[in-house]
Amino acid sequence: MGTPDFAVPTLETLLALPEAQVVAVVTGPDRPAGRGRQLQASVVKQAALAHGLPVLQPTNLKDPAFQQELRSYAAD
């Protein structure tokens, strides 16, 4: 779980560990950025997608639908 740029090296490290199995990434929703206010994906989302990982972007961590989806991954 994370959105800040500094979360990417941690994600990359976890992906490189043979004993770690990253099943999905949770990050904040895409946000408008720049002069054109175009939606921009976080660097965490970009890294996750580059590795073919599912990305969850809830607007509310307490949303029952999000919680159910997260549980479906049976992550530790």
Distance CA 62, CA 51 (A): 27
User: How high is the pLDDT of residue 76?
Assistant: 80
Distance CA 1, CA 73 (A): 14
Nearest to 15, CA basis, from 44, 51, 49: 51
- Has residue 65 got a pLDDT over 90? yes
Please give the single-letter amino acid code of residue 36: G
Check residue 4 and report its DSSP letter: S
27-47: per-residue pLDDT in tens?
A: 999 999 888 899 999 999 999
- Give the number of other CB atoms < 10 A from CB of residue 48: 23
User: How high is the pLDDT of residue 3?
Assistant: 67
Domain spans of the chain, in order of start: 1-8+22-76
